[in-house]
Amino acid sequence: MTQTTTQYLDSLLSLYTPPSTYFDKARTHRSGIEVRLDTWLGVKEMFETGSLRHGTGVRFYSDVDYIVSLKGTRPTSTTALNNVRDALKDKYPNTTVRVARPAVVCEFAKGDETVEVVPAFAAEGGGYWIPDPKTGEWMKTHPKDHNAYVNEVNKSHSGGAKKLARLTKTWKYKRSVPVSSCYLEMRAAKYADGESYWSLPQDIYGYFKHLQNISLASLNDPTGLGSRFNAYSSESNKADALSKLDTAVGRARKAKDYYLAGNNADAIAQYKLLFAH
C-alpha cells in the first residue's frame, strides 16, 4: 500500500522522537557534576531543561541540558563559563569539556553521553541570568515558564506545536543549520498559538515561510518575562541559516502543493530532500 504524506511525516516524527530511556546514561553524570560544582562554586539548585525536558528533543542529536543556579555574586558570563569548565575539567580529566555558549559541554563516552551545563544566577523577581550566546553578556530567562507555555499551546492541534518544533529541529541538525534550537521551539509554539486551522503539511510550509518573511528576527519572550530569543550568534551564521532556510521554503512549498494535489509520492520526495532523510 502506498504511503500517504501524513503517514510519512508521522513515521519521521516517530523515528526522531527519543524513547523514554534514551538519555538515561547521560543522566547518570548529574550527581557527579552537581557535587563538583557545589564544592567549587556553590550550587543553589540544578534542574533539567531544554528540548529533552520540553518533549521536543531529537533522537540522535539532542543532549541532556541542565541549568545550574550558582551562589555568590554574578561575575561576567565568560568568567562563569570558565569557572564551570575548569571545575568539570578537573573532575573529568579524560573527558572533553568545552565552552559552547551558553553552556559548558561535557562529551562523556566520546560524545555518546553528552551533557550541557548552563551556569545561571537567580534573578530578582524570578527567572535566571544565563550567558547570552549573541552578545557575550547575560540574558534573563524563565525556563520553567517557557516549558509551561509550550505545553499549554501544545494542547491545541493534536500536539502540533511540539511536532512542528521537532521537525524543524530535525531540519536544523540534518542540514547543519546554525540556528538556535530554543528559538525554533519558541517560534513554533508562537506560530501554532496563532493558527485556528491545522494541517501539518501546510503548516510546515507556513512556519518555514514565516521564518523567511521575518528573516529569523529575534523573538520577544511569549511569556513576557524574559529576554528576547535570538536565532543566531553571528552575522555569518545568519547568512548561512537564511540561505538554507530559502532552500527549505522551496522544498516545503513543493511538498505542500503536491500534498494538496493528492500526489503523495512527490510530496514525500520533497520532504526527504527537506529533512535529508
Q: What is the pLDDT of residues 41-78, one digit of tens each?
A: 999 999 988 776 678 889 888 888 999 999 999 999 99
User: Model confidence over 182-210: pLDDT tens digits?
Assistant: 899 999 999 999 899 999 999 999 999 99
State residue 87 phi and psi, 5-degree precision: -65, -40
- Give the pLDDT of residue 2: 83
- Look at residue 60 in the predicted model and tell me its pLDDT: 87
CB neighbour class for 6 (10 Å; exposed up to 12, middle 13-18, buried from 19): middle
User: In the prediction, which pLDDT does 45 show?
Assistant: 96
pLDDT at 53: 67
> For residues 244 and 259, what is the distance between their CA atoms, to the nearest angstrom?
22
Domain residue spans of the chain: 5-17+146-274, 24-144
Q: Which residue has the cell 551545563?
A: 117
pLDDT band at 31 (very low <50, low <70, confident <90, very high): very high
Over residues 67-96, mean pLDDT: 97
C-alpha span between 98 and 116 (Å, rounded)? 10
Which H helix or E strand runs over 120? strand 113-122
Task: For residue 174, report the phi and psi dihedrals to the nearest 5 degrees.
Answer: -70, -30
What's the whole-number average pLDDT of the chain? 93
Question: pTM of the full predicted structure?
Answer: 0.87
Which amino acid makes up residue 216?
L
- Alpha-helix runs per DSSP H in 28-159: 30-40, 50-54, 77-91, 143-153
Let me know if domain 24-144 sits in CATH 3.30.460.90: yes
Rounded CA gap, 231 and 244, in Å?
Answer: 14
